[in-house]
Amino acid sequence: MKKPFEPKVVAFLCNWCSYAGADNAGISRLQSPANILPIRVMCSGRVSAEMILRAFRAGADGVMVLGCHIGDCHYINANHRTVKRIPLLQKILGYTGINPERLILDWVSSAEAPKFARVTADFVDKIISLGPIKDELKVTHPATPVSLPVEEVVS
């Protein structure tokens, strides 16, 4: 029997809302997919295009950026930058032939544990339907000292 496709999804979670929301989902015993590799960042505004592209290159099939709702940002208005940056990166990905749906931005507050479970499950389902990211994107040479250990964490 063919093994079903298990995508690797990197989720950049903001320290103040989304990471706590993910934590809350765990405490509440809510099912969320194990394909998610969470990376805690201090703010969703910290997530640069470089970081997202690097996650794709290291073999992530999808990347999520989750942050505080607009107006609730711990740094007042730092996520105003994120909400402008991510759509532009999605456009660039689309123009070069990578499905822009592989990158999403959403807001999850620390109280929204059910939303976290839903958003992650929906995204993983979406990535499963899209299939693995093109092999060209993946790391083809082993000598990458700082590559993400996606392989070990997920499988």
User: Residues interacting with other proteins, by CB under 8 A?
Assistant: 49-50, 53-54, 56-57, 70, 77, 80-81, 83-85, 87-89, 91-99, 105-107, 134, 136-137, 141, 144, 146
Helix (H, G, I), strand (E, B) or coil at 112: coil
Q: What angle in degrees, to the nearest 10, is found between the helix axes of 79-95 and 49-57?
A: 40
Between the alpha carbon of residue 74 and those of residues 42, 66, 77, 79, the distances in Å are 9, 14, 8, 9
Residue 2 or 84 with smaller CB distance to other proteins = 84
The nearest distance, CB 31 to other proteins, in angstroms, is: 25
Q: Which residues pair with 38 in a beta bridge?
A: 11
Helix (H, G, I), strand (E, B) or coil at 11: strand
Residue 30 or 83 with smaller CB distance to other proteins = 83
The nearest distance, CB 23 to other proteins, in angstroms, is: 22
Residue 1 or 86 with smaller CB distance to other proteins = 86
Helix (H, G, I), strand (E, B) or coil at 30: coil
The nearest distance, CB 116 to other proteins, in angstroms, is: 16
The nearest distance, CB 105 to other proteins, in angstroms, is: 6
Residue 50 or 152 with smaller CB distance to other proteins = 50
Residue 36 or 108 with smaller CB distance to other proteins = 108
The nearest distance, CB 34 to other proteins, in angstroms, is: 26
Phi-psi region of 71 (alpha: psi -120 to 50; beta: other; left: phi over 0): left
- Rg (C-alpha) for the chain, rounded Å, is 15
